Amino acid sequence: RQLTLHLRRQMGRAINAKRVYRLMRLQGIQSVIRRKRKKYVGSTPQQVAENVLNRNFEAEAPNQKWVTDVTEFKYGNGQKAYLSAIKDLHDKSIVAYVLGHSNNNSLVFRTLELALQAAPESRSLLHSDRGFQYTSLHFKQMLDEAELTQSMSRVGCCIDNGPMESFWGTLKCEKYYLHTYRTFEELQKDIDAYIHFYNNERLQAKLNGLSPIEFRTKAA
């Protein structure tokens, strides 16, 4: 598209973008920005839930609404780590998190177990995307046993889980992107330190200038 626009200006004539694309392919010329992602064959989910949260990201009390997701980090020689976390929409605190070597069911299940241990009396709404862990029957069974209400983003609508995506961006910009990690242990140490800082010391304007834990304590 960029090349087509420049050719039109330089030559002063109408040029079809599809023709430019065809000629680029013949010459082996490829854009380096916004390449098309590989298409993956989606699996059929075992179960899905409605978007109960419906982008209503305000909560009147702690443990009323939780959002969760998994994100990827790289370290060493192309190795990957995966962070699963649950965030409380009332005070923006990270209720529970687990960093692991694989993006699998146990990573997500363990995160939920830690959240329930931290807030055993909660009957939260838990919102996620439609990742395979969250659509599994076992995850639904865990929610039912804890009397939690399940909510899921619509297909392809990452903004439905905006607060969790926002936290990933904050974590990566303020900590991860500033360092190079050689080992899993180095990455784990910094993530532990950052989440502790985020929960206890990072002041937020939306929380009246308090940290998440300060705001949570005041509400309690």
Cα–Cα distance measured from residue 148 to residue 152, given in angstroms and rounded to the nearest whole number: 13
Q: What is the pLDDT of residue 16?
A: 93
**Beta-ladder partners of 86:** 68, 96
User: Angle 184-200/162-174 helices, nearest 10 degrees?
Assistant: 120
- Tell me, yes or no, whether 81 lies in a domain: yes
Do 73 and 139 reside in the same domain of the chain? yes
Which residue range forms the structural domain that includes residue 154?
65-219
pTM for the whole structure: 0.81
Write the CATH number for 182: 3.30.420.10
pLDDT tens digits along 55-72: 999 999 999 999 999 999
Distance CA 83, CA 77 (A): 18
Amino acid 40: pLDDT = 52
The model's pLDDT over 80-102, given as tens digits with 9 standing for 90+, comes to: 999 999 999 999 999 999 999 99
- Tell me what pLDDT residue 44 has: 78
* Low pLDDT (below 70) residues in the chain: 32-43
Shared domain for 209 and 104, answered yes or no, is: yes
Q: At what angle do helices 212-219 and 184-200 cross, to 10 degrees?
A: 40
Q: Are residues 136 and 184 in the same domain?
A: yes
> Are residues 77 and 21 located together in one domain of the fold?
no
Does the residue 29 lie in any domain? Answer: yes
Q: Please, where are the H alpha helices in the chain?
A: 2-11, 17-27, 105-118, 137-146, 162-174, 184-200, 212-219
d(CA 216, CA 207): 10
Mark whether 30 and 72 lie in a shared domain. Answer: no
